[in-house]
Amino acid sequence: MRWILTLISFCAQAEVSRRRIDPSCPDADLGELCDEDCFEKWIKCKDGCLSSSCERQCAGEWTDCYRACPCDELCPNGCENCANPICSCKSPENDPYFKQCLKEARGRLDDCFESCATNNTCYDGCYDVFEDEKSFCPCMEKCPMGCSCDCGFKCQTHVTVLCQGRTDISALPNFSYLISADGSFKISILSGCKIINTEIQLVNSFDAVYGSLATVSAGTESVILCRGRSADCESFNGEKSQSISSTQINHERSCMVEFENAPMIIGSYSPTSNRVEILTSSGWQDTTPHPRQIYSHTCLSVSNGVLTISGILKDDNVWFYTKNVYLLRDDQWAKVGVLQSVYGLASSIHFGDYFLVFDGVQTRNVERALWDGQNITSSMIINKHEGDCYRPIIFESDPDSCIEGCDDFCYY
């Protein structure tokens, strides 16, 4: 009986919490919707529990959920400076995921229309399907919470890929595209964006084939560049560039990554080396060497460590491409996985429990690898480039980036 009374009391408190949104709050309607969604999730979670500890965990998750709603504790001014995904539904026409979902639904509608010929009933059916698909888009009837709900449309990370080719080499074309993190969506040509020459110059010339760079966020964000063909390095803060300490050796065709708020440079083609250097207040210093002589690899910062991905290794005076991935953590290197493909002069980007590798000049593949913090658990090829590209430029972007405007993507 005590357990029943306690549960009834707890549910009564829950009912009260659902109605405490201040109606004068600018986004009270979204706050009410968010609070109701949190409550429904709590009920579903609690109903699946078989222990009091499980119920307490559900209650804690429920509390965290409604506190982050517009007009509640963490967002007292409604959607102003509120990170809750439902706030994108305040103006869904400006939400990149809603626009992307609608664009994909319209594309399927056009394909359906083309298959109808002169069958008017078919046209009506196409439009009915379109209306149903649209209702599942973020902020619409069947997905009112924006991208916080599982609505059928994948509100996933998108990456923009840019490659400036060479007119004298057909295998190195200009290409650019936007791709979803699972490879299910790709725009082969981007338009509407420009790369503008700032007229700012580096201290030394830089070639992506031979040199390496990394963005370092400690203090003022800056880009550290080392030429590779020489030991010269410099720091660029977005406005000007200045020379900094030189590396102890030339790290040609190596990779650079931020590690513990400092740039780290790994390996070299010429001279052949497995040396790893990190920039300190007293200059570049040696740290734990890579287990193999390596070059043309890509590298990533992960939680408390660094990954080197693919590239070329040396064994018995023979160079060969590898699919191996190595992890540096606690001053020790270890092999932590094998990819589906090999990569040379590639670029990579990390998003929590997975990372993407975009090839440079070997296979032209794009691979997604699942990462559990310790090892690669699986991987798959999700795309293939139109041509070779030395160290492709990649960055996270909204799904509707640069898809309107001029006819072709141009470099300025």
How high is the pLDDT of residue 329? 97
Q: Residue 17 belongs to what domain range?
A: 2-88
CB atoms closer than 10 angstroms to residue 39: 17
CA distances from 10 to 14, 65, 66, 319 (A): 6, 17, 16, 67
Quote the CA–CA distance of 72 and 327 in Å, as a whole number.
Answer: 43
Q: Which of 331, 231, 332, 336 is closest to 273 using CA atoms?
A: 231
Q: Are 206 and 233 in contact (CB under 8 A)?
A: no
* Close Cβ partners of 303 (under 8 Å, ≥ 6 residues apart): 373
**Based on the domain organization, do 233 and 361 belong to the same domain?**
yes
Domain shared by 357 and 265, yes or no:
yes
Report if residue 47 sits inside a domain: yes
Q: Do residues 189 and 288 share a domain? A: yes
62 and 168 inside one domain: no
Residue 277 amino acid letter: E
**Residue among 389, 354, 348, 390 at smallest CA distance from 373:** 354
Percent of the chain with pLDDT over 90: 62
Q: Are residues 121 and 84 in the same domain?
A: no
Residue 289 DSSP one-character state: P
Are 104 and 241 in a shared domain? no
Tens-binned pLDDT, residue by residue, of the chain (412 aa): 333 333 333 443 444 445 467 889 999 999 999 999 899 999 999 999 999 999 999 999 999 999 999 999 999 999 999 989 899 889 888 888 888 888 888 889 999 999 998 888 899 999 999 999 999 898 898 888 888 666 777 788 889 998 876 666 666 777 888 898 999 887 777 776 777 888 899 999 999 999 999 999 876 789 999 999 999 999 999 899 999 999 999 999 999 999 999 999 999 999 999 999 999 999 999 999 999 999 999 999 999 899 999 999 988 889 999 999 999 999 999 999 999 999 999 999 999 899 999 999 999 999 999 999 999 999 999 999 888 889 999 999 888 777 654 343 333 2
Count of residues for the chain?
A: 412
- Locate 122 and state its tokens: 């078919």
- Could you tell me if 78 and 205 lie in one domain? no
- What's the token pair of residue 234? 């410099």
Instruction: Tell me, yes or no, whether 153 lies in a domain.
Output: no
CA distances from 68 to 5, 12, 22, 27, 61 (A): 29, 21, 15, 13, 11
The widest CA-to-CA distance across the chain, in whole angstroms, is 84
Structure-token pair, residue 315: 């064994």
Same domain, 133 and 222: no
Residue 343 φ then ψ, to 5°:
-145, 140
325 SS3 class: strand
Whether 212 and 342 share a structural domain: yes
The first and second tokens of residue 7, run together, are: 């549960």
Q: What is the pLDDT of residue 404?
A: 56
Q: Which of 66, 88, 110 lies at the terminal end of a domain, its last residue?
A: 88
Find out whether 174 and 163 touch, Cβ atoms under 8 Å: yes
What are the pLDDT digits (tens) for 327-366?
Answer: 999 999 999 999 999 999 999 999 989 999 999 999 999 9
Beta bridge partners of 335: 326
- Split into its structural domains, the chain has a count of 3
- Identify whether residues 200 and 275 lie together within a single domain: yes
SS3 state at 256: strand
Global pTM? 0.79
The reply to whether 170 and 45 lie within a common domain is no
Q: Considering only CA atoms, which of 125, 86, 91, 96 is closest in space to residue 109?
A: 125
